[in-house]
Protein backbone atom coordinates (compact mmCIF):
# COMPACT_ATOMS: atom_id res chain seq x y z
CA UNK A 1 0.00 0.00 0.00
CA UNK A 2 1.22 3.51 -0.81
CA UNK A 3 2.05 5.47 2.35
CA UNK A 4 -0.55 8.10 3.32
CA UNK A 5 1.87 11.02 2.91
CA UNK A 6 2.97 9.71 -0.51
CA UNK A 7 -0.68 9.27 -1.46
CA UNK A 8 -1.39 12.91 -0.56
CA UNK A 9 1.71 14.12 -2.37
CA UNK A 10 0.76 12.15 -5.45
CA UNK A 11 -2.74 13.64 -5.43
CA UNK A 12 -1.31 17.15 -5.05
CA UNK A 13 -3.46 17.79 -1.98
CA UNK A 14 -0.84 17.75 0.77
CA UNK A 15 -0.04 21.49 0.82
CA UNK A 16 -3.49 22.73 -0.15
CA UNK A 17 -6.88 23.54 1.33
CA UNK A 18 -10.23 22.39 -0.06
CA UNK A 19 -12.38 25.48 -0.67
CA UNK A 20 -15.36 25.89 -3.00
CA UNK A 21 -14.92 22.45 -4.54
CA UNK A 22 -11.26 23.01 -5.45
CA UNK A 23 -7.85 22.37 -3.94
CA UNK A 24 -6.28 25.79 -3.50
CA UNK A 25 -3.00 27.23 -2.26
CA UNK A 26 -3.26 28.70 1.24
CA UNK A 27 -3.01 32.41 1.87
CA UNK A 28 -1.30 31.90 5.23
CA UNK A 29 2.47 31.48 5.19
CA UNK A 30 2.96 29.46 8.39
CA UNK A 31 3.62 25.73 8.54
CA UNK A 32 3.34 23.00 11.14
CA UNK A 33 5.36 19.81 11.45
CA UNK A 34 3.47 16.52 11.54
CA UNK A 35 5.41 14.04 13.67
CA UNK A 36 5.07 10.28 13.82
CA UNK A 37 4.72 9.80 17.62
CA UNK A 38 6.03 6.24 17.52
CA UNK A 39 9.34 7.19 15.93
CA UNK A 40 9.50 10.95 16.66
CA UNK A 41 10.38 11.37 12.98
CA UNK A 42 8.99 14.03 10.65
CA UNK A 43 6.18 12.87 8.39
CA UNK A 44 5.68 16.17 6.58
CA UNK A 45 4.87 19.83 7.02
CA UNK A 46 1.40 21.23 6.44
CA UNK A 47 0.49 24.84 5.76
CA UNK A 48 -1.35 26.85 8.38
CA UNK A 49 -4.13 29.11 7.19
CA UNK A 50 -5.06 32.61 8.30
CA UNK A 51 -8.20 34.75 8.45
CA UNK A 52 -8.10 35.27 4.66
CA UNK A 53 -8.38 31.50 4.12
CA UNK A 54 -11.28 31.44 6.57
CA UNK A 55 -12.93 34.32 4.71
CA UNK A 56 -12.66 32.42 1.43
CA UNK A 57 -14.07 29.22 2.92
CA UNK A 58 -16.97 30.98 4.66
CA UNK A 59 -17.78 32.89 1.45
CA UNK A 60 -17.89 29.62 -0.49
CA UNK A 61 -20.13 28.00 2.11
CA UNK A 62 -22.41 31.05 2.14
CA UNK A 63 -22.81 30.91 -1.65
CA UNK A 64 -23.57 27.20 -1.56
CA UNK A 65 -26.04 27.31 1.31
CA UNK A 66 -29.23 28.53 -0.46
CA UNK A 67 -29.19 25.69 -2.96
CA UNK A 68 -27.88 22.99 -0.60
CA UNK A 69 -30.38 23.81 2.13
CA UNK A 70 -33.21 23.29 -0.34
CA UNK A 71 -32.06 19.94 -1.70
CA UNK A 72 -34.41 17.03 -1.14
CA UNK A 73 -33.43 14.74 1.75
CA UNK A 74 -33.14 11.84 -0.69
CA UNK A 75 -30.44 13.71 -2.61
CA UNK A 76 -28.45 14.32 0.55
CA UNK A 77 -28.90 10.68 1.58
CA UNK A 78 -27.51 9.55 -1.77
CA UNK A 79 -24.38 11.67 -1.39
CA UNK A 80 -23.82 10.57 2.19
CA UNK A 81 -24.19 6.92 1.14
CA UNK A 82 -21.61 7.50 -1.59
CA UNK A 83 -19.21 9.02 0.94
CA UNK A 84 -19.81 6.14 3.33
CA UNK A 85 -18.95 3.64 0.59
CA UNK A 86 -15.77 5.52 -0.34
CA UNK A 87 -14.64 5.51 3.27
CA UNK A 88 -15.20 1.78 3.50
CA UNK A 89 -13.28 1.26 0.25
CA UNK A 90 -10.38 3.34 1.57
CA UNK A 91 -10.44 2.00 5.14
CA UNK A 92 -6.91 0.48 5.02
CA UNK A 93 -5.39 3.77 3.86
CA UNK A 94 -7.31 5.77 6.47
CA UNK A 95 -6.29 3.38 9.25
CA UNK A 96 -2.65 3.47 8.20
CA UNK A 97 -2.80 7.25 8.14
CA UNK A 98 -4.11 7.55 11.70
CA UNK A 99 -1.63 5.00 12.95
CA UNK A 100 1.17 7.20 11.63
CA UNK A 101 -0.18 10.65 12.50
CA UNK A 102 -1.43 9.99 16.05
CA UNK A 103 0.20 6.73 17.08
CA UNK A 104 -2.81 4.41 17.28
CA UNK A 105 -2.02 0.71 16.99
CA UNK A 106 -2.83 -0.22 13.40
CA UNK A 107 -5.05 -3.04 14.64
CA UNK A 108 -7.04 -0.53 16.70
CA UNK A 109 -7.24 1.98 13.87
CA UNK A 110 -8.70 -0.77 11.68
CA UNK A 111 -11.07 -2.08 14.35
CA UNK A 112 -12.29 1.20 15.85
CA UNK A 113 -10.98 4.49 14.49
CA UNK A 114 -12.23 3.90 10.94
CA UNK A 115 -15.38 1.77 11.43
CA UNK A 116 -16.78 4.05 14.12
CA UNK A 117 -16.15 7.07 11.91
CA UNK A 118 -18.03 5.38 9.07
CA UNK A 119 -20.86 4.62 11.51
CA UNK A 120 -21.47 8.33 12.06
CA UNK A 121 -22.16 8.79 8.35
CA UNK A 122 -24.47 5.78 8.31
CA UNK A 123 -26.28 7.11 11.37
CA UNK A 124 -26.76 10.54 9.78
CA UNK A 125 -28.32 8.86 6.75
CA UNK A 126 -30.65 6.81 8.93
CA UNK A 127 -31.74 9.84 10.95
CA UNK A 128 -32.32 11.91 7.83
CA UNK A 129 -34.37 9.15 6.18
CA UNK A 130 -37.03 9.32 8.88
CA UNK A 131 -36.68 12.91 10.06
CA UNK A 132 -39.75 15.16 9.90
CA UNK A 133 -38.71 18.72 9.11
CA UNK A 134 -42.32 19.96 9.39
CA UNK A 135 -44.90 19.28 12.05
CA UNK A 136 -48.16 20.90 13.09
CA UNK A 137 -49.44 21.88 16.53
CA UNK A 138 -53.02 23.08 16.25
CA UNK A 139 -53.09 25.78 13.57
CA UNK A 140 -49.36 26.47 13.94
CA UNK A 141 -46.77 24.85 11.69
CA UNK A 142 -43.33 24.17 13.13
CA UNK A 143 -40.41 23.99 10.71
CA UNK A 144 -36.89 22.79 11.40
CA UNK A 145 -34.50 24.53 9.03
CA UNK A 146 -30.71 24.28 8.61
CA UNK A 147 -28.94 26.89 10.69
CA UNK A 148 -26.56 27.96 7.94
CA UNK A 149 -22.75 27.97 7.75
CA UNK A 150 -21.14 25.83 10.46
CA UNK A 151 -17.54 26.04 11.61
CA UNK A 152 -16.36 22.65 12.86
CA UNK A 153 -13.26 22.35 15.05
CA UNK A 154 -12.00 18.81 15.72
CA UNK A 155 -9.23 17.29 17.89
CA UNK A 156 -6.28 14.95 17.40
CA UNK A 157 -7.29 12.00 19.58
CA UNK A 158 -10.04 10.59 17.30
CA UNK A 159 -9.17 12.57 14.17
CA UNK A 160 -11.56 10.97 11.69
CA UNK A 161 -14.29 9.88 14.10
CA UNK A 162 -14.74 13.42 15.40
CA UNK A 163 -14.83 14.82 11.87
CA UNK A 164 -17.64 12.54 10.72
CA UNK A 165 -19.52 13.04 14.01
CA UNK A 166 -19.87 16.72 13.05
CA UNK A 167 -19.73 16.82 9.25
CA UNK A 168 -22.27 14.06 8.60
CA UNK A 169 -25.19 15.45 10.66
CA UNK A 170 -24.44 19.01 9.55
CA UNK A 171 -24.60 18.06 5.88
CA UNK A 172 -27.63 15.85 6.50
CA UNK A 173 -29.41 18.82 8.08
CA UNK A 174 -28.72 20.93 4.99
CA UNK A 175 -25.92 23.07 6.41
CA UNK A 176 -22.64 23.98 4.72
CA UNK A 177 -19.43 23.53 6.68
CA UNK A 178 -15.91 24.81 7.18
CA UNK A 179 -13.74 22.22 8.92
CA UNK A 180 -10.60 22.94 10.92
CA UNK A 181 -8.98 19.67 12.02
CA UNK A 182 -6.19 19.57 14.57
CA UNK A 183 -2.88 20.65 13.11
CA UNK A 184 -1.30 17.82 15.14
CA UNK A 185 -3.18 15.06 13.25
CA UNK A 186 -4.31 16.67 9.97
CA UNK A 187 -3.60 14.04 7.34
CA UNK A 188 -6.72 11.90 7.73
CA UNK A 189 -8.76 15.10 7.28
CA UNK A 190 -7.06 15.68 3.92
CA UNK A 191 -7.86 12.12 2.86
CA UNK A 192 -11.46 12.63 4.00
CA UNK A 193 -11.75 15.86 1.99
CA UNK A 194 -10.58 13.96 -1.08
CA UNK A 195 -13.36 11.43 -0.55
CA UNK A 196 -15.94 14.22 -0.13
CA UNK A 197 -14.75 15.61 -3.46
CA UNK A 198 -14.98 12.19 -5.10
CA UNK A 199 -18.48 11.63 -3.68
CA UNK A 200 -19.70 14.63 -5.66
CA UNK A 201 -20.95 17.08 -3.05
CA UNK A 202 -21.65 20.49 -4.64
CA UNK A 203 -18.90 23.10 -4.49
CA UNK A 204 -18.82 25.05 -1.25
CA UNK A 205 -20.90 22.59 0.78
CA UNK A 206 -17.77 21.21 2.46
CA UNK A 207 -14.60 23.25 2.96
CA UNK A 208 -11.35 22.41 4.74
CA UNK A 209 -8.89 24.94 6.17
CA UNK A 210 -5.87 23.75 8.13
CA UNK A 211 -4.64 25.88 10.99
CA UNK A 212 -4.18 26.35 14.69
CA UNK A 213 -6.64 27.55 17.30
CA UNK A 214 -5.33 31.06 17.98
CA UNK A 215 -5.39 31.99 14.28
CA UNK A 216 -7.86 29.90 12.29
CA UNK A 217 -10.03 28.72 15.19
CA UNK A 218 -10.44 32.27 16.45
CA UNK A 219 -11.18 33.58 12.95
CA UNK A 220 -13.93 30.98 12.56
CA UNK A 221 -15.43 31.72 15.98
CA UNK A 222 -15.56 35.48 15.42
CA UNK A 223 -16.57 35.41 11.75
CA UNK A 224 -19.90 37.20 11.16
CA UNK A 225 -20.68 34.81 8.29
CA UNK A 226 -20.55 31.74 10.54
CA UNK A 227 -23.89 30.82 12.10
CA UNK A 228 -22.67 28.06 14.41
CA UNK A 229 -19.44 26.69 15.86
CA UNK A 230 -19.11 23.09 17.00
CA UNK A 231 -15.90 22.27 18.86
CA UNK A 232 -14.53 19.11 20.38
CA UNK A 233 -11.50 19.79 22.54
CA UNK A 234 -10.31 20.80 25.95
CA UNK A 235 -12.51 22.80 28.29
CA UNK A 236 -9.98 25.63 27.99
CA UNK A 237 -10.38 25.69 24.19
CA UNK A 238 -14.16 25.47 24.45
CA UNK A 239 -14.29 28.48 26.76
CA UNK A 240 -12.07 30.47 24.39
CA UNK A 241 -14.32 29.67 21.41
CA UNK A 242 -17.49 30.55 23.34
CA UNK A 243 -16.05 33.90 24.36
CA UNK A 244 -14.90 34.65 20.82
CA UNK A 245 -18.30 33.72 19.39
CA UNK A 246 -20.29 35.79 21.87
CA UNK A 247 -20.02 39.10 20.01
CA UNK A 248 -21.81 37.66 16.98
CA UNK A 249 -24.33 35.67 19.07
CA UNK A 250 -23.79 32.47 17.13
CA UNK A 251 -24.71 29.05 18.41
CA UNK A 252 -21.83 27.20 20.08
CA UNK A 253 -21.87 23.45 20.69
CA UNK A 254 -19.07 22.14 22.88
CA UNK A 255 -17.91 18.59 23.58
CA UNK A 256 -15.11 19.15 26.06
CA UNK A 257 -13.16 17.46 28.85
CA UNK A 258 -14.12 14.68 31.20
CA UNK A 259 -13.09 12.70 34.26
CA UNK A 260 -15.60 9.91 33.94
CA UNK A 261 -16.44 7.55 36.81
CA UNK A 262 -16.83 3.80 36.58
CA UNK A 263 -18.93 2.92 39.64
CA UNK A 264 -18.72 -0.79 40.50
CA UNK A 265 -21.46 -1.97 42.84
CA UNK A 266 -20.99 -4.65 45.50
CA UNK A 267 -22.87 -7.32 43.53
CA UNK A 268 -20.96 -6.89 40.27
CA UNK A 269 -19.00 -9.70 38.66
CA UNK A 270 -15.68 -8.28 39.83
CA UNK A 271 -13.48 -10.16 37.35
CA UNK A 272 -15.49 -8.84 34.42
CA UNK A 273 -16.22 -5.41 35.84
CA UNK A 274 -12.63 -4.58 36.77
CA UNK A 275 -10.82 -6.16 33.83
CA UNK A 276 -13.13 -4.52 31.30
CA UNK A 277 -12.92 -1.32 33.32
CA UNK A 278 -9.15 -1.24 32.91
CA UNK A 279 -9.43 -1.99 29.20
CA UNK A 280 -12.09 0.69 28.70
CA UNK A 281 -10.11 3.33 30.58
CA UNK A 282 -7.00 2.50 28.52
CA UNK A 283 -8.84 2.42 25.18
CA UNK A 284 -7.05 4.68 22.71
CA UNK A 285 -4.36 4.96 25.43
CA UNK A 286 -6.79 6.86 27.61
CA UNK A 287 -6.92 9.66 25.06
CA UNK A 288 -10.70 9.88 25.06
CA UNK A 289 -12.67 12.62 26.76
CA UNK A 290 -15.16 10.09 28.09
CA UNK A 291 -12.59 7.50 29.25
CA UNK A 292 -13.72 6.07 32.64
CA UNK A 293 -10.47 6.84 34.43
CA UNK A 294 -11.97 6.90 37.96
CA UNK A 295 -12.87 3.39 39.06
CA UNK A 296 -15.02 3.66 42.20
CA UNK A 297 -15.11 0.34 44.07
CA UNK A 298 -16.32 -1.10 47.39
CA UNK A 299 -13.64 -0.63 50.06
CA UNK A 300 -14.33 -4.13 51.38
CA UNK A 301 -13.36 -5.59 47.98
CA UNK A 302 -10.38 -3.32 47.27
CA UNK A 303 -7.74 -6.03 47.55
CA UNK A 304 -9.57 -8.22 45.02
CA UNK A 305 -10.03 -5.25 42.68
CA UNK A 306 -6.32 -4.43 42.84
CA UNK A 307 -5.31 -8.00 41.93
CA UNK A 308 -7.64 -8.04 38.93
CA UNK A 309 -6.55 -4.55 37.80
CA UNK A 310 -2.87 -5.53 37.91
CA UNK A 311 -3.53 -8.61 35.77
CA UNK A 312 -5.59 -6.57 33.30
CA UNK A 313 -2.90 -3.91 32.96
CA UNK A 314 -0.33 -6.60 32.24
CA UNK A 315 -2.42 -7.76 29.26
CA UNK A 316 -1.86 -4.43 27.49
CA UNK A 317 0.93 -4.65 24.93
CA UNK A 318 2.49 -1.26 24.15
CA UNK A 319 4.79 -1.05 21.14
CA UNK A 320 5.26 -0.33 17.46
CA UNK A 321 1.80 0.60 16.13
CA UNK A 322 2.50 -1.33 12.93
CA UNK A 323 3.10 -4.59 14.82
CA UNK A 324 -0.06 -6.73 14.59
CA UNK A 325 0.58 -8.13 18.06
CA UNK A 326 0.55 -4.68 19.69
CA UNK A 327 -2.67 -3.53 21.36
CA UNK A 328 -1.63 0.05 22.19
CA UNK A 329 0.68 2.39 20.33
CA UNK A 330 2.14 5.75 21.24
CA UNK A 331 0.74 8.86 22.91
CA UNK A 332 -0.28 11.18 20.07
CA UNK A 333 2.23 14.01 20.57
CA UNK A 334 5.12 15.15 22.72
CA UNK A 335 3.13 17.70 24.73
CA UNK A 336 0.60 15.06 25.76
CA UNK A 337 3.34 12.55 26.57
CA UNK A 338 4.94 15.13 28.86
CA UNK A 339 1.56 15.83 30.48
CA UNK A 340 1.05 12.13 31.22
CA UNK A 341 4.51 11.81 32.75
CA UNK A 342 3.94 14.90 34.89
CA UNK A 343 0.64 13.60 36.23
CA UNK A 344 2.07 10.16 37.05
CA UNK A 345 4.74 11.94 39.10
CA UNK A 346 2.00 14.01 40.78
CA UNK A 347 0.11 10.86 41.75
CA UNK A 348 3.20 9.35 43.32
CA UNK A 349 3.92 12.61 45.19
CA UNK A 350 0.32 12.75 46.45
CA UNK A 351 0.73 9.36 48.07
CA UNK A 352 -1.53 7.31 45.81
CA UNK A 353 -0.65 3.60 45.79
CA UNK A 354 1.03 2.76 42.46
CA UNK A 355 0.12 -0.84 41.62
CA UNK A 356 0.92 -0.97 37.88
CA UNK A 357 3.03 0.97 35.43
CA UNK A 358 4.65 4.21 36.49
CA UNK A 359 6.81 6.93 34.96
CA UNK A 360 8.88 6.60 31.81
CA UNK A 361 8.61 4.44 28.74
CA UNK A 362 8.00 0.69 28.83
CA UNK A 363 11.10 -1.39 29.35
CA UNK A 364 13.45 -1.45 26.37
CA UNK A 365 11.98 1.60 24.63
CA UNK A 366 14.24 4.62 24.24
CA UNK A 367 12.39 6.52 21.53
CA UNK A 368 8.79 7.40 20.76
CA UNK A 369 6.01 8.78 22.95
CA UNK A 370 5.26 5.46 24.62
CA UNK A 371 3.77 5.46 28.11
CA UNK A 372 3.35 2.65 30.61
CA UNK A 373 -0.28 1.70 31.40
CA UNK A 374 -0.51 2.98 34.97
CA UNK A 375 -2.93 2.17 37.78
CA UNK A 376 -3.12 4.01 41.09
CA UNK A 377 -5.15 2.64 43.99
CA UNK A 378 -6.27 4.09 47.33
CA UNK A 379 -6.82 7.39 45.56
CA UNK A 380 -8.67 10.10 47.48
CA UNK A 381 -11.29 12.19 45.67
CA UNK A 382 -9.41 15.40 46.48
CA UNK A 383 -6.16 14.26 44.85
CA UNK A 384 -5.08 16.09 41.72
CA UNK A 385 -4.99 12.84 39.73
CA UNK A 386 -8.65 12.25 40.68
CA UNK A 387 -9.78 15.72 39.67
CA UNK A 388 -7.81 16.67 36.56
CA UNK A 389 -8.17 15.14 33.13
CA UNK A 390 -4.87 13.39 32.39
CA UNK A 391 -5.76 12.15 28.89
CA UNK A 392 -3.47 9.17 28.99
CA UNK A 393 -3.25 5.54 30.19
CA UNK A 394 -3.67 6.36 33.87
CA UNK A 395 -6.46 4.81 35.97
CA UNK A 396 -7.38 5.87 39.51
CA UNK A 397 -9.11 3.41 41.88
CA UNK A 398 -11.15 5.14 44.58
CA UNK A 399 -12.74 3.09 47.40
CA UNK A 400 -16.21 3.81 48.82
CA UNK A 401 -18.13 2.72 51.91
CA UNK A 402 -21.77 2.99 50.75
CA UNK A 403 -23.71 3.47 47.52
CA UNK A 404 -24.53 7.03 48.59
CA UNK A 405 -20.81 7.63 49.16
CA UNK A 406 -20.03 6.18 45.72
CA UNK A 407 -22.52 8.48 43.98
CA UNK A 408 -21.07 11.47 45.82
CA UNK A 409 -17.56 10.54 44.65
CA UNK A 410 -18.80 10.00 41.08
CA UNK A 411 -20.29 13.51 41.02
CA UNK A 412 -17.33 15.15 42.77
CA UNK A 413 -15.88 16.68 39.61
CA UNK A 414 -16.31 19.78 37.47
CA UNK A 415 -16.97 17.46 34.53
CA UNK A 416 -20.01 15.44 33.51
CA UNK A 417 -19.45 13.80 30.14
CA UNK A 418 -19.63 10.03 30.53
CA UNK A 419 -20.06 7.45 33.28
CA UNK A 420 -20.26 3.70 33.79
CA UNK A 421 -22.14 1.62 36.37
CA UNK A 422 -21.59 -2.12 36.93
CA UNK A 423 -23.91 -4.40 38.90
CA UNK A 424 -26.08 -7.51 38.60
CA UNK A 425 -29.05 -5.78 40.23
CA UNK A 426 -30.24 -3.87 37.17
CA UNK A 427 -32.91 -1.78 38.97
CA UNK A 428 -30.22 -0.63 41.42
CA UNK A 429 -27.79 0.11 38.57
CA UNK A 430 -30.46 2.13 36.82
CA UNK A 431 -31.23 4.05 40.01
CA UNK A 432 -27.55 4.86 40.47
CA UNK A 433 -27.26 5.95 36.83
CA UNK A 434 -30.15 8.37 37.31
CA UNK A 435 -28.22 10.12 40.09
CA UNK A 436 -24.97 10.58 38.20
CA UNK A 437 -24.61 14.03 36.65
CA UNK A 438 -23.33 13.02 33.23
CA UNK A 439 -24.63 13.17 29.69
CA UNK A 440 -24.16 9.48 28.90
CA UNK A 441 -24.11 6.49 31.29
CA UNK A 442 -23.17 2.93 30.31
CA UNK A 443 -24.62 0.02 32.28
CA UNK A 444 -22.54 -3.18 32.36
CA UNK A 445 -20.43 -2.36 29.28
CA UNK A 446 -23.12 -2.33 26.57
CA UNK A 447 -22.40 -2.26 22.86
CA UNK A 448 -21.66 1.18 21.45
CA UNK A 449 -24.77 2.86 20.03
CA UNK A 450 -24.14 5.59 17.43
CA UNK A 451 -27.74 6.75 17.86
CA UNK A 452 -27.27 7.42 21.58
CA UNK A 453 -26.87 11.19 22.13
CA UNK A 454 -23.49 12.15 23.53
CA UNK A 455 -22.51 15.31 25.36
CA UNK A 456 -21.81 16.78 28.73
CA UNK A 457 -23.09 18.37 31.90
CA UNK A 458 -21.16 21.10 33.73
CA UNK A 459 -17.72 21.90 32.28
CA UNK A 460 -17.90 19.00 29.82
CA UNK A 461 -19.79 21.28 27.45
CA UNK A 462 -23.26 21.74 26.05
CA UNK A 463 -25.21 20.40 23.13
CA UNK A 464 -25.34 16.81 21.94
CA UNK A 465 -23.79 14.77 19.16
CA UNK A 466 -24.77 11.44 17.53
CA UNK A 467 -28.19 10.28 16.41
CA UNK A 468 -31.28 12.46 16.10
CA UNK A 469 -30.12 14.84 18.82
CA UNK A 470 -26.86 15.36 16.96
CA UNK A 471 -28.69 16.55 13.84
CA UNK A 472 -31.03 18.77 15.87
CA UNK A 473 -28.00 20.85 16.88
CA UNK A 474 -27.68 22.03 13.27
CA UNK A 475 -31.32 23.06 12.88
CA UNK A 476 -33.24 26.22 13.75
CA UNK A 477 -36.91 26.14 14.79
CA UNK A 478 -39.42 28.33 13.00
CA UNK A 479 -43.09 28.51 13.96
CA UNK A 480 -45.71 29.85 11.54
CA UNK A 481 -48.91 30.78 13.33
CA UNK A 482 -52.17 30.69 11.41
CA UNK A 483 -50.65 28.17 9.01
CA UNK A 484 -53.98 26.34 8.77
CA UNK A 485 -57.57 27.41 9.26
CA UNK A 486 -59.23 26.19 12.50
CA UNK A 487 -61.87 23.49 12.04
pLDDT in tens, 210-250: 999 999 999 999 999 999 999 999 999 999 999 999 999 99
What distances in angstroms separate CA 18 from CA 96, 155, 158, 343, 404, one per listed residue? 22, 19, 21, 39, 53
Q: H or E element: which one contains 443?
A: strand 440-443
Helices (H), 247-333: 270-282, 302-314
Catalytic residue set: 255, 289
| Residue of 190, 161, 195, 191 whose CA lies nearest to 80 | 195
Distance CA 273, CA 263 (A): 10
210-220 confidence digits (pLDDT tens)? 999 999 999 99
Q: Is residue 324 very low, low, confident or very high in pLDDT (cuts 50, 70, 90)?
A: very high
Q: What is the percent of the chain with per-residue pLDDT over 90, rounded to a whole number?
A: 99
Identify the pLDDT of residue 453.
Answer: 98
Identify the pLDDT of residue 485.
Answer: 86
Q: Please name each of the domains of the chain with its CATH number.
A: 4-256+461-479 (3.40.605.10), 261-451 (3.40.309.10)
Mean pLDDT of the chain: 97
Beta bridge partners of 263: 296, 421
| Residue of 461, 320, 293 whose CA lies nearest to 386 | 293
Q: Counting Cβ atoms within 10 Å, is residue 200 exposed (0-12), middle (13-18) or buried (19+)?
A: exposed
56-111 confidence digits (pLDDT tens)? 999 999 999 999 999 999 999 999 999 999 999 999 999 999 999 999 999 999 99
Identify the pLDDT of residue 70.
Answer: 98
Distance CA 53, CA 76 (A): 27
Amino acid sequence: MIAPVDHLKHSGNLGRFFIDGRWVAPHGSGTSAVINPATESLLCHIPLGDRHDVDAAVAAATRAFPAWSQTAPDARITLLARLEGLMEDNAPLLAHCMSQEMGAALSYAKAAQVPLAVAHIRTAREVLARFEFTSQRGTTAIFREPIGVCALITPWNWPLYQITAKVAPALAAGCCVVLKPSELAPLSALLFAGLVEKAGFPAGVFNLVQGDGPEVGAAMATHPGVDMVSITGSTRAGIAVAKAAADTVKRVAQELGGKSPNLILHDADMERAVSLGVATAMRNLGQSCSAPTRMIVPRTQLAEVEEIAIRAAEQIIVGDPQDPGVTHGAIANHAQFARVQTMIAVGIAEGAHLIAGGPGRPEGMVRGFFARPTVFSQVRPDMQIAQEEIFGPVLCILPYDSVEDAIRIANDTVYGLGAHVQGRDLPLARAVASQIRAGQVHLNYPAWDPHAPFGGYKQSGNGREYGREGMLEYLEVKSVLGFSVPD
